[in-house]
Structure formats: C-alpha cells, structure tokens
Chain A
Amino acid sequence: MDDSVHSRTRAQVAPGTQTLNFTLNGEPRTLEVAPNAVLLDVLREQLGLGGTKKGCDHGQCGACTVHVEGQAMNACLRLAVMCEGQHVTTVEGLARDGELHPVQQHFLECDAYQCGYCTPGQMMSATALLNDERVGTDDASVREAMSGNICRCGAYKNIVEAIQKSRESLSYDATRKEGAA
C-alpha cells in the first residue's frame, strides 16, 4: 500500500477576456474570448457553429479542420486569440447562396460518409488539397494528404472518389470561368 497524490497542471489561467477581431466565413466578427479558449470551442460553444467537430482535442483526428488564411488547420490546436485579423472558413462557409460546394455535392453523390461526424473536417481538408499544387492528383497522393482526417466508419474509398470527382468538376468550372472571361 502506498499513499499517492495526483494533481494535474498548475498553470495559471489569465483572468478576464480579450477582444478578438477576425473574419469568419466572409463576415467580420468581434468577440470577447477567454485567453485559454481554443478556436474549436469558440466556434462550437460561443458562436453556435457546430459544423466543426471535436474528435480528440489533440490535433490527432482532423475532425475540427478549418481553413485559416486558406490553409487547412486543426481548430483544436489554435487559441482563438491567435486568429486576430485572420480569415477563418468553416464548413458552414462552404455552400454559397444555398448551393452546395462541388465537394459537398460529390460527398453526397458518392456516399462519402456514414455517421457524418468527421465529414466537415474531411471536406475542409479536401477543398484545401484541391487548391494545393504540392499535392499530386493521383489517388495515392490524395490518400496521403488526407491521412490526417480519420473516418472511423471507414468510408475512405468513397471519400477519395468524391475528392477526385470534385477535382474534375472544379477544373471544368475553372475552365468555363476563364472561357467566359
């Protein structure tokens, strides 16, 4: 037998709140946030934007992926105050004028999900990688680039199919836009 004491972190939380100015899904926002508030929790709890999901809070599962300045990032690994002056896009900002983004449309058609909980993160990573010239266009490159987004339902095959079909329709759209211009 031995006596043991267990306590956790002793770090002090700074008191009060801080003002955060940032652009969320195209809208300028000003908020008072706790200094230890994480972007993910501010989105879900303070702003009521539940589309960005919490799966681990440790940057291990990808469910909370959002775009910060156009880059895919784990919202659980950023303090909200780090977003000062930045542009943040969440899944709620993907559809435009009530029309699904091509990635959303292809996720629907390819049944690229089951429970739907990792899906916003999958789509935010997918939209980022489709704009990322460093990521190859073959299936293996897409799988590698998407491997930070876990889908425990295991809908990976359909997710990759949806991403590749989105690539086709996005490039078609881009060509058409250029042609129209």
Chain B
Amino acid sequence: MNDMTQPKVVGQRTPRIDGEFKLTGRAGYTGELHVDGMLYGYPVPSTIANGKLESLELDEARAMPGVVDIFHHGHFETLHRSPNSMAHGDMVNEVRLPFEDERIYYHGQYVALVVAETFEQARAAAQRVVARYTRMSGAAPGLLQTDAEGELQESAGTSRGDPQAAFGGAEVKVDSTYQIAAESHLQMEMHATLAEWHDDGQRLVVHESTQGVFFQRNAMARVFGLAQENLEVISHYIGSGFGNKLFMWPHAVATTVAARMTGRPVKVVLPRQQDMSSGGNRPASRQRIRLGADRSGKLTSVIHDSTTETSLVHQYVDGCGSATPSFYACDNVSTSQRVLEVNHGTPCPMRAPGEVSGIFALETAMDELAVELDMDPVELRRKNNAELDPASGLPWSSKHLDECLTSAAERFGWAQRNPAVGSMRDGDEIIGYGMAACTWSAGRQPCEARVELRADGTLFAACGTQDIGTGTYTIVAQAVAELTGAELSRIEVKLGETSLPAGPLSGGSMATATVLPAVAAAVRDALDAIKEAAIGSGGAFEGSDADSLFADAGCLTDGNRRVSFEEVLETSKLSSVNGHGSAAPGNEQNEYAFRSFGAHFVEVRIDPDISRVRVARVVSSIDIGRAINPPTARNQVEGGIVMGVGMGLLEKLDYDPRDARLINANVADYIVPTHADAPEIDVELLDYPDFKHNEFGGRGVGEIGLTGVAPAIANAIYHATGKRYRDLPITIEDLLAAD
C-alpha cells in the first residue's frame, strides 16, 4: 500500500503528457476531424427573437453547387422526446428538439441546416436561404431590462433560524441589490459535432466537443431510440467548455439527423455568432442581500434573494444562493431563487454556476458591512469564519480559510492599506485595495476505470471522462506512476470515449476527486493480477505468497529480487494483465462537509482623467487540499482570476431591449480579457491533503479561482473612489457617470 502522505509523483510538477500533441497541432479537436465521404453542415439562425417561421424559400439555395439537402421543420426526422435527468445521466441543455415546430423563441434559434459537399458551399447556400417570419410583439426582454419578478423556485430556497426577525432587530444593517449582466462562455473552440451512422443506421458514432461523453451518449440514445451500446460518443481534445459543453445541444441532434437522412457523415462547427446566441450563456442575475450584524461585526442575519433568467424552451435555474448557507457562521440565514423566462438563447452552467454570481453579491455586501462597522474587511471575515458547516452542522473535512486570509494579506501588503477612501495614490493614479473570500463545493461522483500492464513494458489507463484543458490526462498518469513506480513516459492514458469505463462529467470541479480513486482501484486490481501470474506455475515468483510481493519502480519485488512487469508477463506468456476499478463517495459524506475556501486580494489603479480602471495585481491563497499537479492546478486558479477580471470589468452580452435580439455576438464586441488586461498574479495553493475526501487528498480546482474575484475588484474600486458599484461589469461609462 502506497503512503499517500509522502507521494513521489502525485503532488510533483509534471508537464502535461498530452502537451506535445497540443503544441505541434496533432491533437485532433472535433472540428478538424475528417472521415471519408463527409459532408459539411451550416445552420441558418433565426433573425428574430419571438414569432413564427412562416416559410423558407429554398429553391435558390438548393440549386447551388454542392448542396445535398436542407433540413428544417417539415423536412426532418421524427424523433423521441428529449430526456433531461441529472440522476439518469442524460440531462440536456435544451429540451426542445431542433425544428420541432415553427415557433421562434430566441434570436439565433436554428430554422434550417444546409448540408453540402464543402464548407464553402454549405456556408454560401445557408446565406441564400430566405426565411419569412411573423414577428410577435412583446418579446420578453432580459431580466435587467424589466421589473418582472420571475417565478419562485420553492425547491431552490433554504432557511434556518428567523432571518427576518433577526434582520429587523440588527444593530447594523446592509440592504443592497446587485445586478450582473449575462455572460458568454466564449470557449475558444466552438461547439462541433461530427456524426457517422454505420451498419445501415443501426450504429452511431458521434464526435462531439463535450465535457460529458456519457451524458451525450445517454441523451442521444433516448432521442434516436438506440440502445446505448450501439452509440459511441468520442471527445479526445476539447477546446475548453466552462460548462456550456456539459450537456447536449440541438446542433448535435440536427447534425446527427442530417447524417442519417443523407446517408453520409456530417460535420457541423457552429459559427462563433451562433455559438454565442445559441450555445449557452451565464444568465443575467438580480440579487438582493440583507445582512444584519451586531456592533462587534458578528453576523446575525443573512437574507439572499436571487432571480436569474431562463429561456422559453428550457428551464435552467442558476442557483445564486447555493454557497451562502455554508459561507459564514450565522444562525439566521435564508436564500430564495426566482427564474424569469426571456426571449434569449437558453442559459446553462458557466464556471462556478450560480455561486460566482451569489458570491459577488455576498462578498460585496460584506465589504459594505465592514464600511458600516468601520472594521477591516479581513477582520470581518475572520470574525464570522464558520468552524463547522453551518448549513449541515457537520465538521469540515479540512478548512484553512484563516490561513488563506493571513497569507494572502501578507504577500499583498494589506497592512499598508490606508482604509480612507481615495487616500492612496501613485502619481496621477488612484490606488484601491480590495479583497474577498472565495469558495466552491468539493463534490465527488461514482466512477470506473481500467488499467492494463502490458508485456511491451507500457502501462495503459482508461476512463470515460474528459480532459477539457484542466490536465486530467496527466494526473491519471501520475496516479498510475505513483502506485506502480513506472516511468511516466511508459504510461498511456485514454479518455473521452463511451467505449471506456464510465467516467464523470468534466464539470463542477469534481473530475479529479472522482477519477483518481477509480484509477487507483484499477491499478491495484491489475497489480493483484500480475502478482497472481507471477506466483503461478512457471511464473517469475513461482510459489511465492502474493502478499509478499509489491510494486516498485515498474517492477514486482519480494524485497530481494526485482523483476520488471514486462518480464513477469513474458515469463508467464501473457500479453497483458487487466485491472478494473470503481470508486464512489461513501459514508464520509454523512460525517463531513466538503468545500474549498480561499481569498483574493486585488489592487486596482484608476486614472481619474479618463475614468480608466485597471486591475494591477491579484494575490490569492487557495486551499484545495493537495494539488495533484501543482502547475496545472495553479493555472486553473490563474485562469479563473483572468476570467474574473472579465466578469468584473468587461463582459456583457448585450440584448436589444426592443426585440430581444443579441447585439454583440462576436469576439470584438463581447470583450474578454486579453494579454494586456491580465494583471500580475500571485497564487499560492495551500498544501493540506484532504484524505477524508479521497485517498489522494485533492479537491477540485477548476472553479474556485473565479469566485470572489469580481467582488474583490468592486471593493477595491470602492476603496479608490468611494463609489459602490453593485452592477457588473463595472465599465468606464459607469465611472464617468459617477463624476
């Protein structure tokens, strides 16, 4: 048994094992795959947001060179109703199937799919399709463009104590409303599907850029009426997802139908405009926070009421209050969630869904409370630090928020902060210091894996999860290396196929803690098998006791003699041994609460003459248990911080309030941080392995880095300007309006 308190490979800096493929252009992302006889599809999006498709004029497009067919309502396969269950692993992002009826619910909804021999031909013909609509008045505008309240989601709210009474009687109060614009995931690789039918339509292979091959397979099996065994979904390289590639979208269904009806493979890569209008977004939110505290700063009441958007074709609830009951020690806490239907493209999870919005509101409110109390905001967080999870009453498996606050404050130079508003300057620039705490739950799912030790000296590990850029390929190899002692260069890892043992979504910061224990179980099973072979007749350790053998440096040894795995296998005339493993969360889930915490400290610099605000530096300390591969883990947090700068200052999907059309569906008008916008970043990952969570001690790291960044920026801007910005993004126009 390996000692995971002193690992040799896990926890060590390990360059990505898939790195060379990505760096040489050999990594095959879905959109660049080719199969024989493949056709190209190009969707035609609706140009209105609310109405009815009256007719399509297709004659000209059909007559164009290379056009094979044009699919639309009335010329499309009849499908089975879409499933939508998290529990059954077949959740989808939009339950409405493509071309299901003539109603138009949002700008960008597909009205046709042109299929042609080449990409150029498909695009040219798609541009000649003429759609006639009856536009209906009263398109439901975005949440932030209306006073509409939305529908209360009874199941999404929580309450403990008597928060209303406690707020009423509180010595110090904050009562503020926060609004966050809808955001685009803008993952660099657009949604893409390549569908191939085999065996006369009996078997389907779908290449999809997805964060969940099994979810996509299960959903497609239901929609197309296929046995799961006859359907394979493959996703080897994913140009990231950030949540919008977790579940199936209509483009995948339309592509797959086109492949069946044309009798040829079809590939669709969504144009960026359609990816943004119809491939998911983080919905806009409006949140009211009421905080009550006593004079010492102890919270007595937290009331967090949220409303988010959903589309008219799918119910998506972006639960903003989900971290709030666990964040701070307070006896009286309630959260509520409303959802408003709008004529926009369907929203979906986006990195730290719900919580990142909720934490912006809560952590800005905490800063407002600190100002009311005339108390240091770091001290206020300390004072309300929850020793137990206040939501469940369970002890934390491992929590080091205090150390995060102390360490990041020290490295940042928080002690030099003059709390007086606008008091810190460097030449013409006003400097603002702000901070916020951050958090994300640490989940874990059931998982299976397979490991092979091969006579050619290589080792092989497989799991049907994905690597979306977080480094999953590499940490699986590290786990195998750790438990076998084999060189990393001998370890091959296969992910992203439904033919492999069932693996989890790459989402929710759960993949690491979910996959590695299953891989470890599979390694142990494979080691048992090779020991069994070694002690058998004619084996390398014939007659020995299996329990006397252990793996070391890619060899079996009894303490005296060492025989490499390949020699053991060759001696026993075996090509390989196989190990299967499965792992699942257990009773620890009833004994402990699992959540990561951290803190961000931000310096903004404001040029008052031109109202320009820049994030100059971010110093963060995050406790994620053990980082399995420190550089890739740190990269996740750094990337989250960059995305947080976008959320705080830049990002906003702009919808026309008159007709609900999306105005800025392109990468120039929807602004994300560039190299020049990236601040100086100093991220520390605390190293407290959380063995209660899993044997490797790591909690997920994909999401926590984004949470807390935007409020730390807003709090820094308050410190610089004295103006409290409660709406994101905080733009130059907002700063100008304040003058």
Contact = CB atoms under 8 A, between A and B. Distances in A.
B26 A51 contact: yes
A38 B126 CA distance: 17
A117 B25 contact: no
Nearest to A38: B120
A125 to B, nearest CB: 10
A72 to B, nearest CB: 14
A120 B400 CA distance: 39
Interface in B73-121: 118-121
A164 interface: no
Interface string A137-181: 000001110111111111111111000000000000000000000
B707 interface: no
B240 A115 contact: yes
A26 interface: no
Given A8-B128, A159-B675, A34 B120 contact: yes
Contacts of B32: 44, 50, 53
Given A54-B31, A56-B667, A114-B240, A108 B15 contact: yes
B119 A63 contact: no
Given A60-B667, A114-B240, A155-B638, A120 B25 contact: yes
Interface in A94-131: 94-95, 100, 104, 107-109, 111, 113-120, 123
Interface string A1-36: 111111111000101000000000000000000101
Interface string B1-39: 000000000000001101111111111110111100000
Given A34-B120, A60-B668, A111-B635, A153 B15 contact: no
Contacts of B133: 3-6
A56 B184 CA distance: 14
A55 B25 contact: no
B278 interface: no
B458 interface: no
Contact of A154 (B23, B136, B668, B678): B678
A61 interface: yes
A63 B190 CA distance: 12
A154 B272 contact: no
A109 B186 CA distance: 26
Most buried by A among B187, B240, B269: B240
A90 interface: yes
Interface string B489-504: 0000000000000000
Contacts of A115: 187-189, 237-240, 468-469
A52 B21 CA distance: 13
Contacts of B29: 50, 53, 117
A4 B31 CA distance: 34
A136 to B, nearest CB: 13
A2 B138 CA distance: 12
A133 interface: no
B22 A113 contact: yes
Contact of A144 (B25, B65, B188, B675): B675
Contacts of A150: 188, 667, 672, 674
A151 B188 contact: yes
A157 B638 contact: yes
Contacts of B470: 114
A114 B639 contact: yes
B27 A6 contact: no
A147 B678 CA distance: 10
Nearest to A119: B22
Interface in A34-67: 34, 36-37, 41, 44-45, 48-58, 60-61, 63
13 contacts: A6-B131, A53-B29, A54-B269, A55-B188, A56-B667, A57-B271, A58-B667, A113-B469, A115-B189, A152-B185, A152-B188, A152-B643, A154-B673
Given A37-B120, A104-B23, 19 more contacts: A5-B133, A7-B128, A8-B128, A8-B129, A34-B121, A45-B40, A50-B28, A52-B25, A54-B190, A63-B188, A107-B19, A117-B469, A143-B675, A144-B676, A146-B674, A154-B643, A156-B642, A156-B674, A157-B638
